[in-house]
Structure 1
Amino acid sequence: MTTFPETPAQRVPLPISYADVLAAGERLRPYFDPSPVRHYPQLDELVGYGIRVLVKHENHLPTGSFKVRNGTASITALSPEEAARGVIAATTGNHGLGLAWAGAARGVSVTICVPTGNNPEKNAGIRALGATLIEVGERYDDTVAACRAIAERERRTIVHSTNHRPVIAGAGTMSDEFLTQAPELDALVIALGGGSQAVGALAVADARKASLAVYAVQSQEAPAQHDAWHDGEARQGAPVRTFAEGIATGSTYALTFPALRAGLRDFVLASEAMIAQSVRDLWRITHNLPEGAGAAGLAGLRLLAPQLAGKTVGVVMCGGNLDAERAAHILLGGMPHFPSGTGEFLTVR
C-alpha cells in the first residue's frame, strides 16, 4: 500500500496506490478526453500575491462534473458477474449522473436512489441517461437505508460516493492529468466533500511530485470534515446549510479521513458569500458557470493566498451543474438558499 509523508519521520497509508490511479486512467481513456487546463491572467490579478492560477475544467467532462471519472472507474472495474447484476447508489446529483453515464456507456444497469424533493434538473439528467431513478426518503439517511435494502434484494453492487476504492482512484486521474498538463504546479486547492479528489491528489503527489502541496476548502455552513481535520475527531451526520451541494458533507469517511488528516497542507472554510462571489467571478472571467463546489476552490485560494505567494496554484472547476433558478439568483448578486426546506442537507452529491 502506498504511503505518504506527513513529516520526514511519519508516514501513513493511503487507501489507494498510484498504480490504482494509472489503471483507472487506462480504463477511462476510451470513454472521454482529458479535461482542459487554462490560465486566465485576470484570475491572477484577482487573487494577487504574485500567484499564477491554473484552472482545471472538469465541468467540460461528460455530465459536467469530475464525478464521471469516479463513476466510469467504478463501472469499468466490475467483474462480468457484477456488471450483469448492475450497480446502485444513493446520491443527490453528480455521483448519480456519473454512474448513469458510465452505465449507459458500458451497458450496465444502474439504479439511483435520491431523496424525495431532490434537484429536479439532476433527476431528469439521471433518467435521460437510462438509469432507474427512485425517489425515496425524506432525509438522505432514509435514502441510504432504502438503497441498501434494494441492493441486497437485487444483488446489485453499491457504489458509495466516497467509501469505494475505484471511486477514489477515478478521482485521482484528475490530478494525474493536471500534473501532466502543468508540471510546474506547486499546489492544488480542492473543494472537499467526501474527499475522493483530495485523496486522489495525495496519491499522485506521493508518486510524482512530493513537493506538490494539497489544500482543501469547505463551506462555513458545512464544516464537518474541516473541524474533524483540525481536532482529529470523526464526524457523522452533522447538519449543514450550504447551497454548494457538492461539498454539503456532514460526515467523515473511513477510506479518506486518515489520509486527509495526515496529508493535507491546510484546510480552510469559506463563507457562503465568498463561494457565491467566486461563482460570479469565474463566470465573468472564464465564461464558464460553476456550481457552488466548482467555485469553492477559488474561494479557498483567496483565503490561502498569503501562504502561496509567488506559487503556481491549480484550482478545479469540479462541476458546472448549477440549476437555472439558483444560477440566475447568484449572477444577479443574490445569496442562494440552501437546498432543503428543513435547513439540513446531509450528503455528498
Structure 2
Amino acid sequence: MSFPALKDIEEARQCLSTVVEETGLVYNKVFSDMTGGNIFLKTENLQKTGSFKLRGAYNRIAHLTEKERSNGVVASSAGNHAQGVALAASSFGIKSTIVMPKHAPISKVTATKSYGAEVVLHGNIYDEAYQKAREIQEETGATFIHPFDDPMVIAGQGTIGLEILDDMPDVDIVIAPIGGGGLISGLAIALKSIRPNIRVIGVQAANAPSMYESFKSGKMNIVDCIPSIADGISVKVPGNLTYEVIKKYVDDIVLVGEDEIAEAILLLMEKAKVVSEGAGAVPVAALLNGKINIKGKKVAAVISGGNIDVNILAQVMDRGLIRQGRKLMISTMMPDKPGTLCRMVELIAAEGANILSILHDRLALDVPIGYAKVEVVLETSDEEHGMRIIKRLLESGYKVN
C-alpha cells in the first residue's frame, strides 16, 4: 500500500466540499497564557457527526465501484468512525454494518443507528471488534472500510491540514491525537508537503501507547490496552501504513495520563466553551502539562471529536475538579457525641468551603463503639484552600484522611 500524496488530499477536499464543514481555528487566550504559546483550537468536535472521521469515511466510500456498493460496507469502530461510515453509506444508499466494542458509549451506538447502520456489539476493545468485522466481511462480501490504515481514509483526514494552512499559513506546530494513526498521517503529509519546517506532534493515552512504543523503538509494537477515557484512540495494534507515514513525517509522539485528560476536558469546557471527548482533549492535555516545548510558537491543536457520553462526562468533570484541588473528600472518625459533628462543620464553614455532601455512619463494622465515621465532600477554590482546611481540622484534634 503506497502513501497518499498531496494531490490525493487536494482531490479529497474537492470530494468533501459539499459534505463536511470547514471547522474553525479558534485562538484561546487562557491556554496561551498558561503555556507561553499562541494556542489555536481546530474544532473538529463541531464537524458533522461530531468528529473528523466523516472526512476519511466519506472519501473512501465515494471511491467504491458500483459492484462494491451493491455488496455494502462493514466497519469496526469505538464510535466516531462508525458514525462517519454510517452517514457516508446512507448518503450513497449503501447498506452498512458497524461492529462496535460492547462497552462503547451508548450515545455513540445510538447515533450510529440513527444514521442508518446495523450495529453489532462485540468484544471489549476496538481490536476485538475489528476481528469480528473482518469475519462479517468474509461472510457477506462487503467492503471493509478501515478506520485508519487506508490511503483514501488518510487522504480524507489530511484535508484538516489544508484547512489549518488556509487559516494560519505561518503555524509552527500542529498537535493531534493518535490512535491507529489515520488523522496524524493525513495531517502530516498535507502539512509537510507544503511547509516541511512545520513540526507535527502526536499525543497518545498512556493507557494505550501502541504507536508511541512503535515510534520510539523503531519497530511495530502490540500493546495491551488499559481502559481509558480516551476510548476513541485506544488501539492495541498500530496501522502498518500509518506507522510508515508517521516514521517519515511525524516529529514526535508524547503520552498523557488519565487525570491529565480529565482535567483537559474540564478546562476545554470552562475556558474554551468546547465539549470534547477524551481522545479530542489529549492535545490540550499535552500542552497544559508541559509535554511539548511551545514557548512563543503558533500552535494548532486538533480537537478531534466531541462525542462524549453525558454519564462519562460527569465522572470526568469530578476527576478534573479533584486534580485541580477544587473538590476535596475528607474522612475522619469522631466521638459519637452531641456537637462533635457541628464543630467540624463550623470549622469548614469558617474556611469558606462549601459542603457538597456529608455521610455520618456509626453502624459500619470498621467503626469502634462510641464513634462515628464521617465522610465529607467539599467544594474548594484550589489545592492550597483544601490544605488549609485539612490543617485546621488536624489542629482542632480531628484525624483526617
Q: TM-score, normalization: structure 2?
A: 0.76
Q: Which moved more, 1:20-29 or 1:148-157?
A: 148-157
Change (3 A) 1:221 1:141: closer
Q: Partner residue of 1:77?
A: 63
Are the equivalent residues in 2 in contact too, given 1:273–1:335 (CA < 8 A)?
A: no
Which has the higher relative contact order, 1 or 2, with Cα contacts under 8 A spaced 6 or more apart?
1
Matched residue of 2:99: which SS? strand
Change (3 A) 1:141 1:330: closer
Amino acid at match of 1:127: K
Per-residue CA deviation, residues 186-233 of structure 1 (Å, 9 max, x unaligned), is 110111111111111221123211111100111121122111111112
Q: Partner residue of 1:40?
A: 28
Are the equivalent residues in 2 in contact too, given 1:240–1:250 (CA < 8 A)?
A: no
Q: Which moved more, 1:20-29 or 1:218-227?
A: 218-227
The Cα shift of 1:35 comes to 0.8
RMSD of aligned residue pairs (Cα, Å)? 2.0
The Cα shift of 1:47 comes to 1.7
Q: Partner residue of 1:328?
A: 314
User: 1:264, 1:143 → 2: CA distance?
Assistant: 28
Are the equivalent residues in 1 in contact too, given 2:25–2:300 (CA < 8 A)?
A: no
Are the equivalent residues in 1 in contact too, given 2:280–2:302 (CA < 8 A)?
A: yes
User: 1:132, 1:113 → 2: CA distance?
Assistant: 9
User: 1:252, 1:197 → 2: CA distance?
Assistant: 13
Are the equivalent residues in 1 in contact too, given 2:225–2:234 (CA < 8 A)?
A: no
Q: 2:211 aligns with which of 209, 225, 237?
A: 225
Q: Partner residue of 2:230?
A: 244
1:54 aligns with 2:40: yes
User: 1:197, 1:277 → 2: CA distance?
Assistant: 23
Matched residue of 1:255: which SS? helix
Bigger Cα Rg: 2
User: 1:38, 1:261 → 2: CA distance?
Assistant: 29
Are the equivalent residues in 1 in contact too, given 2:215–2:253 (CA < 8 A)?
A: yes
Are the equivalent residues in 2 in contact too, given 1:187–1:312 (CA < 8 A)?
A: yes
Where do 5+ consecutive residues of structure 2 fail to align?
323-401
Are the equivalent residues in 1 in contact too, given 2:263–2:321 (CA < 8 A)?
A: no
Q: 1:147 aligns with which of 125, 129, 133?
A: 133
Per-residue CA deviation, residues 48-107 of structure 1 (Å, 9 max, x unaligned), is 2xx111110001111100011111111112122212221101112111011011112222
Amino acid at match of 2:268: L
Per-residue CA deviation, residues 100-157 of structure 1 (Å, 9 max, x unaligned), is 1111222221110123343222111111111111223455444333322221222110
Per-residue CA deviation, residues 299-336 of structure 1 (Å, 9 max, x unaligned), is 12235576221110000110001100111122234599
Map 1:263-278 to 2 at 5 A. 263-278=249-264
Matched residue of 1:308: which SS? coil
Are the equivalent residues in 1 in contact too, given 2:125–2:234 (CA < 8 A)?
A: no
1:20 aligns with 2:12: no
Q: Which runs of 4+ in 1 moved over 6 A?
A: none
1:180 aligns with 2:166: yes
1:130 aligns with 2:116: yes
User: 2:320, 2:40 → 1: CA distance?
Assistant: 27
Q: Partner residue of 1:109?
A: 95
Matched residue of 1:307: which SS? coil
1:168 aligns with 2:168: no
Amino acid at match of 2:27: H
Matched-pair identity in %: 28
Are the equivalent residues in 1 in contact too, given 2:259–2:320 (CA < 8 A)?
A: no
Instruction: State the aligned residue count.
Output: 322
Q: Partner residue of 1:289?
A: 275
User: 1:145, 1:198 → 2: CA distance?
Assistant: 24
Change (3 A) 1:227 1:273: same
